[in-house]
């Protein structure tokens, strides 16, 4: 397993286990399976409704808590300083742990313009030692710039949609410039359409891997953290099996050439649901 060092010194695996759309009752067996395969980064969120399932898995696993990186996120309806602190307390209770490793703002919801004060609540949680690192999800460059201008603590990550058809090169460059690591959600593209791309199929044959493993390894080799989701045991295992090869620079360039700037999920500017 490859690790990256966040800008505050915390080490984090480059591959994590995503829990978007995983029902709570399926969460603990899926997380336990993932931990058994070797995953140590678990990515949940308030809006996923499965923090309690993560908590049950934490109670059942034999892996020490300090070896796991548990992520959760504050939802749009909880934006605001006091509201965020209250939401965090609720998440902590559901997770059944006394700290969170990575706490993120799920969306900036710019129409409501509360993400700066929400982030300041994250800063308090970090200063109080209740979270080991803080960051954001789905922030555009302009939203990140406001945090850089108006807040004290640099986000450690920006978790955004990223896959070979939506490569976010400008965002990658901005994040690298400011020592923020990009985390990729939907790395296989919702619906998996990218996995039928002829180039990924060609590279899969070349490296003796699957198109999904090629897409995930591309994320790792480009310096991102990647969090694929699956509850299927064979897929959980397959997604983890990407650390015994590297893509050549030539093949990385070839994948760069299939970028379509095709966003599948909501644009941050337009996502204002509360």
The residues carrying an active-site annotation are 48
**Contact partners, residue 264, CB within 8 Å, separation at least 6:** 161, 166, 186, 189, 190, 191
**Contact partners, residue 17, CB within 8 Å, separation at least 6:** 30, 31, 34, 39, 41, 42, 43, 227, 228, 229, 236
> Which is nearest to 155 in space by CA: 119, 124, 125, 108?
119
Q: b/e for 84-97, b at 16 or more Cβ within 10 A?
A: bbebbeebbebbeb
- Cβ atoms of 46 and 75 within 8 Å: the answer is yes
> Which is nearest to 191 in space by CA: 222, 163, 220?
163
Provide the CB-side half-sphere exposure for 268 (13 A, CA). 21
């Amino acid at each position: 397993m490859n690790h990256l060092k966040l800008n505050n010194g915390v080490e984090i695996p480059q591959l994590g286990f995503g829990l978007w759309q995983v029902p709570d009752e399926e969460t603990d067996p899926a997380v336990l399976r993932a931990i058994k395969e070797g995953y140590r980064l678990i990515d949940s969120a308030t809006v996923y409704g499965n923090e309690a399932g993560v908590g049950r898995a934490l109670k059942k696993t034999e892996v020490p808590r300090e070896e796991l990186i548990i992520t959760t996120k504050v939802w749009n309806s909880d934006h605001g300083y006091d509201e965020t602190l209250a939401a965090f307390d609720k998440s902590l209770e559901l997770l059944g742990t006394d700290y969170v490793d990575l706490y993120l703002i799920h969306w900036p919801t710019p129409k409501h313009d509360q993400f700066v004060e929400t982030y300041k609540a994250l800063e308090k949680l970090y200063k109080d030692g209740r979270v080991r690192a803080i960051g954001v999800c789905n922030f555009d460059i302009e939203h990140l710039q406001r945090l850089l201008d108006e807040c004290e603590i640099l986000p450690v990550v920006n978790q955004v949609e990223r896959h070979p058809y939506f490569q976010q090169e400008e965002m990658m460059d901005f994040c690298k410039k400011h020592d923020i690591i990009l985390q990729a959600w939907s790395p296989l593209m919702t619906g998996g359409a990218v996995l039928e791309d002829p180039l990924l199929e060609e590279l899969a044959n070349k490296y003796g891997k699957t198109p999904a493993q090629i897409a995930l390894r591309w994320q790792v080799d480009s310096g991102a953290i990647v969090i694929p989701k699956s509850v299927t045991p064979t897929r959980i295992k397959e997604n983890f099996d990407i650390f015994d090869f590297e893509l050549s620079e030539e093949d990385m360039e070839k994948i760069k050439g299939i970028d379509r700037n095709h966003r599948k999920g909501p644009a941050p500017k337009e996502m204002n649901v509360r």
